[in-house]
Chain A
Amino acid sequence: MQTILSIGADALSYGMVLFIISIGLSVTMGLMKVVNLAHGAFAMIGGYIASYATQQMGLPFGVAIIAAVLGTMLVAVPLERFLYRRIYGAPELTQVLMTIGITFAIIGIANFAMGPTLKTIALPSQLQGPVDLGFRTIAAHKLFAAAVGVVVAIALWFIIERTPFGVRLRASVDDAAMAGALGIRTKIIYAVSFALAVGLAALGGVVGAQLLPIEPYYALHYMVTFLVVVSVGGAGSITGALVAALLLGAVQTTGRYLMPEYGEFFFYLAVIAIVCVFPNGLMGRSK
């Protein structure tokens, strides 16, 4: 029973971190149809900024989160303007290559600037200790990660379903050409969504730094996991990404607890099974 609860708690917080990071990728894939392999690199940049802010500059955690999100967006906007915009609608292979290229370059630069070692983010004292839930205790930062995930899901749902921006976004996802003809400036929608996606990645990178430690190869290690979440969930679907992140988080966490010697074997087996049965993702629209 204890094991099940520990696994459950870990799976929940890990799954939520996956969700926070992957949902941005899901939006860019659903909307701009860009297979953005560099998404994890943006989460990593967020993690580095937060680490630098808390450890080197002594800023409080909350300020570090905001700095990470804004700083990462600042890096991403020119990339969107000058690189990504050129590959919207290009064949997958082209997109894969360009974004792998960006990933490699960011890894190299991160190592040059920050060194090859693990970087930690100083947590405020409230998030350091365990929290007593009555039936058991759980690390506060894990609870915090899960809570942030819930907030992100609700906020995104609100933005997409209830705001004028959301209406335009959905119209552009459904049919970019038609939305353009209706006077929606898709270029701006794209740029804003991209910034939003990158901001979420950075947020996830900071909040999840205890679970996905920040180091230069972060961008490559977890790239596959994020892609898998989007693919299993179905590009462009919030619910899909949430379900997929929790499901895959559970598979991965359970595997680590119960059969560590098998590594990620069962995780990939599950991925193959799910994608073979649902090639458009659990919640994806069939073409």
Chain B
Amino acid sequence: MSETTLNPSASTPLWRRSVTRDLVAVLILAAVAVALFFLFPSNLALLTRIVAMMLLVLSLDLVTGYSGVATLGHATLFGAGAYAAGIVAAKFGITDPLLMLAVGALAGAAAGAISSLVILRGHGLSQLVLSIAVVSLAHEAANKLSGWTGGSDGLSGISPSALFGMFRFDLFGRTAFIMSVVLLLVVFVVLRIIVRSPFGMLCRGIKQDPVRIRAMGAPVYFTLVKMYAIAGAVAGLGGALSAIATKVVGLDSLSFTLSAEALVMLVLGGTGKLFGALVGTLVFVWFEDRVSAINPFHWLTIVGCLLVAVVLFAPKGLTGAAEAIWKRMRGARS
């Protein structure tokens, strides 16, 4: 137990320490990205897809891991961003990648705020069912509005122009990968600041006891809607990124399956920790790509057993298990 006493001068280094930690985290992520770039030059498309998924899973972590909302419909926000970015590019000729990202973020935020009004009506089972209904409704709507979305054929004809007018999106996906990594780092740092902010603390409080939060005079509903809007912007960025990188948007980006997979990735990595979302996504998508190349159904069996194992033996996910091992090793040494 730490015997810290509180006084202003002792607390200053404490927030400095968190800034230092942010820097270290960013450096680690950047180093991993650089290593992957050189180690797997022919897999950059896959890696970019992973980054887009990471944004979706980070977003889910905000809502589920930090705020305690159970949802199986989070792809709604990702799909909203993907379709919005794709439609402005394919139908309105707005092909600047940064503008497309901005449109995706806005659309995601709007979708997040609106869908939260529905999802937050329920609790427990009804919340899950509402979230599934929302993503399914969006899926059916996108299917029906095929004039805009391309329906089940997918939305094509997206050709993003060069980044900053200089860097074209090359065949090998180098530009897309670098852009996605920079985007991820920026989002990651911003989210780290947000989850430590008063607002982030409020959300964690709501997750643990909304009644107590109300008794402190803070609004529960409005706070969650706001968090949903922020999460929507993050997921929307992910969707827009995938539209830019793959140049198509399919109905699967707005599906229950993607929502469920995102949840699996989050729990695999560990909820309530931004790093967990990143680790879970990387491990999941990477293995999925490898195993399902051999047989997609074997992949399902493996994921299924893996999930059961995680719930039973590592409820805090891979990062949680790693932390526990690390702590035990340190405890053994001292």
Contact = CB atoms under 8 A, between A and B. Distances in A.
Q: Do A and B bind each other?
A: yes
A97 B299 CA distance: 16
B305 interface: yes
Contact of B132 (A216, A224, A276): A224
B239 to A, nearest CB: 21
A34 B72 CA distance: 16
Interface string B281-307: 000000000000000011111111111
Of A103, A106, A108, A216, most buried by chain B (CB within 10 Å of CB) is A108
B136 A102 contact: no
Interface in A26-45: 29, 35
A222 interface: no
A100 interface: yes
A108 B301 CA distance: 5
B274 interface: no
Given A275-B133, A279-B123, A93 B140 contact: no
Q: Give chain A's interface residue range (CB within 8 Å of chain B).
A: 35 or more
Contacts of A235: 125
B273 to A, nearest CB: 15
Interface stretch (A147-155, A167-175, A202-210, A264-272): A264-272
B118 interface: yes
Contacts of A96: 70, 72, 128, 263
B31 interface: no
B298 A108 contact: yes
A87 interface: yes
Contact of A98 (B128, B299, B307): B307
B301 A109 contact: yes
Contacts of B129: 227-228, 231-232, 271, 275
Contact of B308 (A105, A228, A272): A105
Contacts of B260: 100
B256 A224 contact: yes
A280 B301 CA distance: 34
Interface string B130-145: 1011101100110110
Contacts of B128: 35, 92, 96, 227, 231
Interface string A219-240: 0100010011011100100000
A94 interface: yes
A81 to B, nearest CB: 14
Contact of A97 (B130, B141, B310): B310
Most chain B CB within a 10 A radius of its CB, from A83, A220, A276: A276
A235 B298 CA distance: 34
A280 B126 CA distance: 7
B146 to A, nearest CB: 10
Given A101-B307, A104-B304, A272 B133 contact: yes
A101 B306 contact: yes
A279 B137 contact: no
Interface of A: 29, 35, 83, 86-87, 92-94, 96-98, 100-109, 111-112, 116, 216, 220, 224, 227-228, 230-232, 235, 261-265, 268-269, 271-272, 275-276, 279-281
Q: Which 3 A-B pairs have the closest CB atoms?
A: A101-B307, A105-B304, A108-B301
Interface of B: 64, 70, 72, 118, 121-126, 128-130, 132-134, 136-137, 140-141, 143-144, 256-257, 260, 263-264, 267, 271, 297-308, 310-312, 315
15 contacts: A35-B128, A83-B308, A93-B267, A100-B260, A101-B305, A104-B304, A105-B305, A107-B297, A108-B297, A108-B304, A111-B297, A227-B129, A231-B126, A265-B137, A271-B130
Given A232-B129, A279-B122, 11 more contacts: A94-B311, A96-B72, A97-B264, A98-B308, A101-B303, A101-B310, A108-B302, A264-B140, A271-B129, A272-B137, A276-B130
